[in-house]
Amino acid sequence: MAFLIAAAQLVAANPVGTKGRKNAVSGAYRRFPFARTRVLQLVLAVAFSTMLGSVPGLRGQASLPSEDQVKAAFIYNFAKFVEWPPAAFAEAGSPIIIGVAGDASVEDTLDRYVKDKTVEGRKLLVGRWKQGQSSPRCHILFIGSTVGSSHAEILRNIRGSPVLTVGETDGFAQQGGMINFILTDNKVGFEINRKNAESAGLKISSKLLALAKTVWE
Amino acid sequence: MSIRIARCLLLAVLLVPCGSLLGKDSQQDRDLSTMSLEELLNTTVVTAARHVQKNIDSPRFISVITAEDILQKNYRTVPEALNEMVGVLVQETNYGGGSPIIRGMVGNQILILIDGIRMNNAIYRLGPNQYLNTIDMNQVERIEVIHGTGSVLYGSDAFGGVINIITKSRAGSTTGSSMEARAFGRFASADRSGVGRFEVSGNVGKLGLIGGVSLKNFGNLRAGNGTGLQNETGYLEGDGDLKLSYGLSDRQSLVLGLQRVDQKDVPRTDVVNSGQYLKYEWDPERRDLASLQYEFKNIGSFVNSLMVGVSYQDQLEEGKRIVGSAPSVQRLMHDEAQSKGVVVQLSSLLGERQVLTYGLDYYGDRIISRRVDVDSITGQQSAKAGTFADGSTSRSVASFLQDEIRVSGSLSANLGVRYSQFHLKAAVTDPGIGAIEINSSPSAVTASARGLYKFNPNLGLFFGVGQGFRAPNVDDSTILGSFAGGFEIPNPNLQPEKSRNYEFGIKTQGKRFSGTAAYFMSDFDSLIQRQPETFQGRPFLDLNKNGVQDKGEANIFQRQNGGQALIQGIEIDTRVQLLQDWSLSADVAWIRGKDEITHNPLNRIPPIKGTFAVKWAPVKNFWIEYYNLVASRQDRLGLGDLADPRIPAGGSPGFAVFNIRSGWNWNRQGSVTIALENLTNKRYRFHGSGIDAPGTNLVIGYQKAF
């Protein structure tokens, strides 16, 4: 904001000062060459700043991935470290379905990440979770924070189903969820509720458990 | 020439943040799925400023009514939902109203936002008002209340707190389309009311949408302990809303929101039942809102996010009044506030430990206020001056800056500053005085500094000091005319009311126990109060210019800055997960307010109030909860309270009300809730209210998806 105020002041400044601005305006034709120069200055400044703004490195640090990109990558990886009961899949080659509730950004990124990839010979598909649908129809369900506290209702509805539930909301792991993302020092980590996962028939590998910040039993 | 080149270059550097927006997207669309878990854990990310901050990480006392609360507790209105919140007492002058009192502040001293857009306008008066009830509860996703001043980020009126109503929305999707319809219903026995809503939501590709229509019929309200029906309480309401959310890309979105709330035959109960008025109702009381918001998130580190929002809001009140002393004359009132708003907000990351949030906001109001008196005997109509100065305008322009700094692993700080400039223009006329023009331009600079020290991830100490302000609006500055105690003349030189607020508290969020406790103290000055004044050298309205105060020549008063007050209090909110199926919650708030000049208690200070609840949810589709609401007697009354007919002589009695509610999902696409409120049929009313609260009340709610 300070930048914009200072910029406005620079553009507004003129040799006759604040009180004389009215005279400067009314005498536009006399002042026109100056005014034209002032407009030209502004145009050049905007063009120059656009070039400056577009040069890598001048923004102060290398560009960082977004929180959603990292979470989408984690969700894809979770599929490699979880075992589902055989009954969770109709056939040997059935895909692993990842449902996303509420967060379109994670859904879009995840859709790109899983394209043409497989886990244990199974393809991965991404779909939108529909509120109130009668059965989970997915093997992993990411419940975004934009769902708000409806996540509690979703968790209640699918309790006991072999669905790995992943969230990013306070208390998610204590309210029936299995994996909850935590942001600390601008790095994404996660906590796991092993009891909730095992009661749904899922087995989480020891490697994933070892990397969790907290494991709730 | 060299000076001009230097100025040009300096301007260019200052505009670099804008340039980074005009250039290509700063973040490469990299595929992180090839990284290992360990690498992902060590990856620093760009976080969206204004991200949904965990309550434990915020240096403020924040209360939330969640979507689950709204679904289970089936609140009748937004004001009544707030009555179960710690530190909030809702004063109800009439059944169609409901004005929250937060930390001793009420009316235009509380800022109401809808999806971040100001509802407060230039004719919000000091004292309780009914405008919070012009939001359809069925449209609400969640409600967040920031206790204490929020003037730095949100501007004028955020003295006692900020209430942000967040409405439902649905996102689009790149992986398919889906749509569903839902029907909601609510029935209550105490007012024999019926509420119905039909709602459609889903997405068509990238376009998410949710819209609905609500119809409500509230009958006269039956109070407890044999009081019976309270006449002149019921009213009708019809609402509609639509929100469209379009994903321009995975980081850019455009949201269009439309809302209408239309209430009919809304009576003001206290003045009719007292005989002061034979008729006093709003028909209609209407609010329309249109808003468009563009958001670009995760742009880069220097400019991380951009939000631009425009809004138009129209608040209309058409009143029908018949004064008891003039039964043949009906006053037809038309008071309308047309408000436009523009907000531009950006955020920037400075390294890994600092987030700047900054921006501009503009709000402009135009007031239409007229009155026509109709003589029911002769049929004659005569135009009179409206409640407010017709044609008056009010504008505010402000810039704000907030700096969130992670000083160390345990300590974080939040610094903020805001500069606001107001302009108010009005012309008022009175037959006895003539015309007066008002043209004022007050300004205010406010700052705040807050901190949070975390002993561990689940326990933190928060503290802070902040300034608040409330700019004089049309209601403050342009009143010209008679009132019960004299004749008021406008004051074009009013300055903003100011406060300094000090707060410290502790918050914890653990596996089984979570809670927040805070002590606050607020010191107010320049409060706007009505004071004796002179006009043309005389302290009375000298209509016949004879220099002597004759009968009918009232004393002159004027609103002036001069009041000083001190308010302090304690708020405690706790929740305990006892076992997997059992949970407890309890809260209590104590507050004390004093006029620093007269040393009298302040007006409308709430009594000690608290709630207690026990909830059992043994299976996934059933829950049952007992809860009670307790308030102590309030006999610390200000001078205004003593003269207020809504407050009994000697003060408002205390009360305890016991309730049970339960709910179950009878299949995955439907749910039913049943509540039995006020089990003992207690007769009670909230301090300062004009009506009693409901007696024993059976409330049934249901929802079904199609």
CA terminus-to-terminus distance, chain B: 72
CB B307 within 8 A of CB B343: yes
**B141: Cβ contacts below 8 Å, ≥ 6 apart:** A148, B67, B70, B166, B167, B168, B169
ipTM: 0.74
Enumerate the β-bridge partners of residue B243: B210, B257
* 3-state percent breakdown (helix, strand, coil) of chain A, nearest 5: 45, 20, 35
Q: How far apart are CA B430 and CA B106, in angstroms?
A: 30
The secondary structure of residue B472, as a DSSP letter, is -
pLDDT in tens, B411-454: 999 999 999 999 999 998 877 677 888 899 999 999 999 999 99
Pair of tokens at residue A110: 């995840």
Lowest-pLDDT choice from A35-49, A107-121, A170-184, B579-593: A35-49
Q: Assess A205–B contact: CB distance below 8 Å, yes or no.
A: no
pLDDT in tens, A84-135: 998 899 888 899 999 988 766 788 888 888 988 899 899 999 987 765 555 5
Q: How far apart are CA B614 and CA B629, in angstroms?
A: 13
Q: Which residue of B has its CA nearest to A155?
A: B620
Tokens 């109130």 belong to which residue? A132
CB B291 within 8 A of CB B308: no
Taking CB atoms and an 8 Å cut-off, how many pairs form between chains A and B? 243
Instruction: Check residue A63 and give its pLDDT.
Output: 55
Say if the Cβ atoms of B41 and A188 lie within 8 Å: yes
User: What's the Cα-to-Cα distance from B443 to each of A8, B238, B401, B420, B425, rounded to whole Å?
Assistant: 20, 39, 17, 6, 15
Mean pLDDT of A162-190: 87
CB B420 within 8 A of CB B471: yes
Does B47 score more than 80 pLDDT? Answer: no
- pLDDT category at B49 given cuts 50, 70, 90 is very low
Instruction: Check residue B178 and give its pLDDT.
Output: 84
Residues B58, B501, B519: CA angle, nearest 5 degrees: 65
The secondary structure of residue A84, as a DSSP letter, is -
With beta carbons under 8 A apart, name residues in chain A contacting B174. 104, 107-108, 111
pLDDT in tens, B379-395: 999 998 888 899 999 99
- How far is B485 from chain A, CA to nearest CA, in Å? 46
**Phi, psi dihedral angles at B68 (to 5 degrees):** -65, -40
pLDDT in tens, B185-210: 999 999 999 999 999 998 898 899 99
Instruction: Check residue B191 and give its pLDDT.
Output: 96
With beta carbons under 8 A apart, name residues in chain B contacting A4. 14, 360
Say if the Cβ atoms of A170 and B54 lie within 8 Å: yes
Q: Assess A9–B contact: CB distance below 8 Å, yes or no.
A: no
- What residues 43-102 of chain A have any CB closer than 8 A to a CB of chain B? 44-46, 48-54, 58-61, 63-70, 72-74, 76-77, 81, 102
- How far is A92 from chain B, CA to nearest CA, in Å? 24
Q: How far apart are CA A28 and CA A22, in angstroms?
A: 10
Mean pLDDT of B249-273: 92
Lowest-pLDDT choice from B82-91, B131-140, B313-322, B525-534: B525-534
Q: What stretches of B259-348 show up as alpha helix (H) in DSSP?
A: 269-273
Lowest-pLDDT choice from A61-70, B252-261, B472-481: A61-70
Q: Shortest CA distance to A177 belongs to which of A189, A166, A161?
A: A166
pLDDT in tens, B487-524: 888 888 889 999 999 999 999 987 788 999 999 999 99
Does B1 score more than 70 pLDDT? Answer: no
The secondary structure of residue B642, as a DSSP letter, is H
Say if the Cβ atoms of A186 and B44 lie within 8 Å: yes
Instruction: Check residue B245 and give its pLDDT.
Output: 93
Q: How far apart are CA B281 and CA A173, in angstroms?
A: 51
CB nearest to B23's CB, from A7, A48, A53: A53
Q: Assess A117–B contact: CB distance below 8 Å, yes or no.
A: yes
Q: Regarding predicted confidence, which is higher, B304 or A4?
A: B304
Does A57 score more than 90 pLDDT? Answer: no
Instruction: Check residue A135 and give its pLDDT.
Output: 55
Pair of tokens at residue B461: 């100490």
Q: Shortest CA distance to B280 belongs to which of B307, B226, B317, B239?
A: B317
Mean pLDDT of A200-212: 92
Instruction: Check residue B431 and give its pLDDT.
Output: 74
Say if the Cβ atoms of B665 and A44 lie within 8 Å: no
Average pLDDT over all residues of chain B: 89
Q: Shortest CA distance to B389 belongs to which of B444, B428, B439?
A: B428
Residues B256, B260, B263: CA angle, nearest 5 degrees: 165
Say if the Cβ atoms of B32 and A69 lie within 8 Å: yes
With beta carbons under 8 A apart, name residues in chain A contacting B673. none
Instruction: Check residue B13 and give its pLDDT.
Output: 35
Q: How far apart are CA B456 and CA B453, in angstroms?
A: 9
Question: Best mutation site among A14, A67, A134 for testing chain B: the one with the most B CBs within 10 Å?
Answer: A67
CA terminus-to-terminus distance, chain A: 49
3-state DSSP call for residue B83?
coil
Mean pLDDT of B78-92: 95
What is the 3-class SS of B458-519, one letter each residue? CEEEEEEEEEEEECCCHHHHCCCEEECCEEEECCCCCCCEEEEEEEEEEEEECCCEEEEEEE
Does A176 score more than 60 pLDDT? Answer: yes
Say if the Cβ atoms of B45 and A42 lie within 8 Å: no
Instruction: Check residue A7 and give its pLDDT.
Output: 38
Does A17 score more than 50 pLDDT? Answer: no
Q: Assess B203–A contact: CB distance below 8 Å, yes or no.
A: yes
